[in-house]
């Protein structure tokens, strides 16, 4: 049975996971605050991801600005193509996604032009869903937040709609830091912004979101991956765009061409492992391959990790082979040399076409500029000069037209030590907010009328509750000192001495705290405390000096059973 998202959002608000942002000013759709529990859960999810990608796989973590000047997104294609169509109610002023209003009228309304879509809405008599008013014709709206840098005329700028571009524009820096070898990868964890027309669905469609993105730069002709050997027998649930869903070993999927290459398959596996590590339910996860019509034109393969939650199957992560598109786009737009250099084992002799200046013809025509023009000609790529009757060269800022009599294109054998390559990009792109919300959906459960979040110790915002049975008789002091020792050991603990023990357990269960420690009168006599397991509600007694160690073991995944000494 699917969970009601409103029920989950209500728990989140009540207990401090999420608050609608700017609530005292009427709030803004698509903007949320993470309260103390949400922020801790988010930090824990991000830390684990960093552990896998930065420590585990050696990606370089970098941190780029959110505000970027227009040329960056001109190159990336976002200025021209990152848009949706909207209509506005002429009566109440509300705006709507035009394609959403046409759902049911056409198989893929987002693929239509403004005119076509407008005609369809008009002819179908679609009105404002809020007030029944008339609607304007559809208009395109760029989904980037626009701003301006600097006073006076200023420079047009945008808030990044993804963190990826910061890594693409820095390819050369990343490559150099990685000592000029491929593959090399960078990651970013941070905010991204999408000025959605009418966001709904809580954390699923946000105007300000948190992303974790990895960009792996690989040799365009070598998408093998040595560590793939270690995971080739692993099985992940696949929904390919051709043929039936399958659960086969990754190696088979690659061999059959269902997954395009090893490196893509490896990062699909890492994504799946990450999802299970943080506690998503494997029975409600799948990798769906993009339809060829749905795939960005440059991507050669793309798989979404989807989770089944209250809103239906929802994309959490995209793992794509983006080919050379991104780096090439910035290379073309900026003119910077965003290539890697492949050094051959042995220098190779290659036949090249080169432009050779003809000094006899240059001299009379260009006089004392001949030498500089000859230099400029020698640097021209042969394709630019071949079969042309003239070329234009730049000499000291001046554009000079040089007739073909002044040069010839000839073949020459040369020893070259390697070649320049534009790297391909494999991109695993994670939506933190969607992961967090889907995780809460998957761990939400009820025991009688009480809510229990079955969060794993790895990600739980509070790892342990500490309670004195009574605040009096010195029990409070003992509990406080246990609490202090846990904090000192770096364990997120919560002290609670109010209400019945049952109520205190219920409060901790509701926010996903894996275990609780209670100090009672026996503690004073034998120095032991009760440790209670959230999921089984079982209890064991342990020495109070061992509490930090026991909690650490439980967080790291030790079973509660393993705590029992043989005589229990």
82 near its own copies, judged by CB under 8 A: no
Binding segment (CB under 8 A) for its own copies, from list 173-181, 307-315, 423-431, 537-545: 173-181
The interface with its own copies within residues 300-319 (CB under 8 A) comprises none
CB atoms within 10 A of CB 558: 14
372 near its own copies, judged by CB under 8 A: no
Q: How far separated are the first and last CA of the chain, in Å rounded?
A: 38
SS (H, E, C) 81-140: HCEEEEEEECCCCCEEEHHHHCECCECCHHHCCHHHHHHHHHHCCCCCCCCCCCECCCEE
Q: Which of 3, 492, 501, 553 binds its own copies (CB under 8 A)?
A: 492
Binding segment (CB under 8 A) for its own copies, from list 35-43, 251-259, 364-372, 465-473: 35-43
Q: Give Cβ neighbours of residue 174 (< 8 Å, ≥ 6 apart).
A: 60, 62, 167, 184, 185, 186, 217
> In sequence order, what are the beta bridge partners of 342?
419
Binding segment (CB under 8 A) for its own copies, from list 55-63, 253-261, 268-276, 339-347: 55-63
Minimum Å gap between C-beta 315 and its own copies is 22
Minimum Å gap between C-beta 17 and its own copies is 10
Q: Which of 7, 93, 200, 414 binds its own copies (CB under 8 A)?
A: 93
The continuous run of DSSP H or E covering 409 comes out as strand 407-421
Residues 415, 344: contact at Cβ < 8 Å? Answer: no
CA distance to 274, 447, 547, per residue, from 282 (Å): 11, 22, 32
33 near its own copies, judged by CB under 8 A: yes
Binding segment (CB under 8 A) for its own copies, from list 26-34, 104-112, 255-263, 444-452: 26-34
Q: Which of 104, 125, 397, 490 binds its own copies (CB under 8 A)?
A: 490
Rounded Cα–Cα distance for residues 73 and 70 (Å): 6
CB atoms within 10 A of CB 543: 13
Retrieve residue 210's tokens.
């948190």
Residue placing its CB nearer to its own copies in the complex, 290 or 333:
333
Retrieve residue 163's tokens.
């963190």
Closest-CA residue to 542 (of 557, 556, 562, 513): 562
499 near its own copies, judged by CB under 8 A: no
The interface with its own copies within residues 127-156 (CB under 8 A) comprises 139, 141, 145-153, 155
Residue placing its CB nearer to its own copies in the complex, 172 or 539:
172
Query: Mask 203-242, x = binds its own copies (CB under 8 A)?
Result: ----xx----------------------------------
Rounded Cα–Cα distance for residues 435 and 425 (Å): 23
The continuous run of DSSP H or E covering 395 comes out as strand 390-395
Closest-CA residue to 63 (of 82, 42, 46): 46
The continuous run of DSSP H or E covering 303 comes out as strand 301-309
249 near its own copies, judged by CB under 8 A: no
Q: Which of 32, 267, 274, 303 binds its own copies (CB under 8 A)?
A: 32
Q: Which of 177, 344, 450, 521 binds its own copies (CB under 8 A)?
A: 177
Closest-CA residue to 119 (of 87, 83, 95): 87
Please count the residues of this chain forming the interface with its own copies, following the rule CB under 8 A: 75
Binding segment (CB under 8 A) for its own copies, from list 23-31, 245-253, 447-455, 547-555: 23-31
Query: Mask 326-345, x = binds its own copies (CB under 8 A)?
Result: ----x--xx-x-x-------
């Amino acid at each position: 049975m699917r969970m009601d998202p409103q029920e989950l959002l209500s728990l989140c608000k009540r207990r401090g996971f999420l608050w609608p942002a700017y609530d005292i000013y009427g709030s803004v759709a698509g903007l949320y605050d993470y309260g103390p529990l949400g922020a801790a859960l988010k930090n824990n999810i991000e830390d684990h991801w960093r552990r896998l990608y930065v420590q585990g796989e050696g990606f370089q973590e970098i941190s780029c600005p959110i505000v970027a000047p227009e040329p960056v997104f001109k190159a990336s294609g976002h200025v021209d193509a990152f848009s949706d169509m909207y209509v506005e109610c002429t009566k109440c002023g509300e705006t709507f996604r035009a394609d959403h209003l046409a759902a049911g009228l056409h198989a893929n309304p987002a693929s239509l032009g403004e005119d076509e879509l407008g005609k369809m809405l008009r002819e179908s008599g679609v009105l404002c869903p809020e007030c029944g008013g008339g609607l304007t014709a559809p208009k395109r709206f760029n989904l980037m937040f626009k701003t301006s840098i600097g006073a006076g005329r200023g420079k047009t700028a945008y808030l990044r709609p993804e963190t990826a571009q910061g890594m693409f524009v820095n390819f050369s820096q990343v490559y150099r830091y990685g000592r000029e070898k491929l593959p090399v990868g960078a990651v970013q964890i941070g905010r991204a912004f999408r000025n959605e027309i009418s966001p709904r669905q809580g954390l699923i469609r946000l105007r300000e979101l948190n992303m974790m993105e990895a960009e792996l730069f690989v040799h365009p002709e070598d998408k093998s991956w040595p560590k793939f050997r270690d995971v080739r027998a692993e099985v992940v649930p696949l929904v390919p765009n051709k043929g039936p869903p399958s659960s086969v070993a990754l190696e088979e999927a690659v061999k059959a061409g269902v997954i395009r290459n090893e490196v893509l398959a490896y990062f699909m596996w890492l994504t799946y492992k990450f999802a299970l590590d943080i506690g998503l339910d494997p029975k409600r996860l799948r990798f769906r391959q993009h339809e060829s019509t749905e795939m960005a034109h440059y991507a050669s393969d793309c798989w979404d990790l989807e989770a089944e939650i209250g809103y239906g199957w929802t994309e959490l992560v995209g793992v794509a082979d983006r080919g050379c598109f991104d780096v090439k786009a910035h290379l073309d737009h900026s003119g910077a040399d965003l290539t890697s250099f492949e050094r051959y084992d042995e220098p190779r002799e290659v036949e090249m076409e080169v432009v050779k200046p003809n000094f006899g013809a240059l001299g009379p025509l260009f006089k004392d500029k001949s030498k500089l023009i000859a230099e400029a000609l020698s640097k021209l790529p042969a394709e630019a000069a071949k079969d042309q009757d003239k070329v234009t060269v730049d000499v000291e800022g001046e554009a000079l037209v040089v007739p073909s009599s002044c040069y010839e294109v000839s073949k020459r054998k040369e020893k070259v030590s390697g070649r320049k390559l534009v790297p391909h990009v494999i991109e695993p792109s994670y939506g933190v907010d969607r992961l967090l919300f889907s995780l809460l959906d998957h761990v939400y459960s009820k025991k009688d009328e009480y809510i229990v979040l079955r969060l794993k110790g790895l990600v739980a915002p509070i790892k342990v509750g500490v309670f004195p049975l009574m605040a009096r008789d010195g029990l409070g002091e003992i509990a406080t000192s246990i609490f202090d020792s846990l904090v000192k050991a770096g364990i997120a603990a919560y002290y609670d001495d109010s209400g019945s023990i049952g109520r205190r357990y219920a409060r901790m269960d509701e926010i996903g705290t894996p275990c609780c420690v209670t100090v009672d009168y026996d503690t004073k006599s034998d120095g032991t405390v009760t440790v209670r397991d959230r999921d089984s509600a079982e209890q064991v007694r342990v020495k109070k000096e061992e509490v930090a160690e026991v909690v650490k073991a439980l967080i790291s995944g030790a079973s509660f059973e393993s705590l029992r000494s043989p005589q229990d």
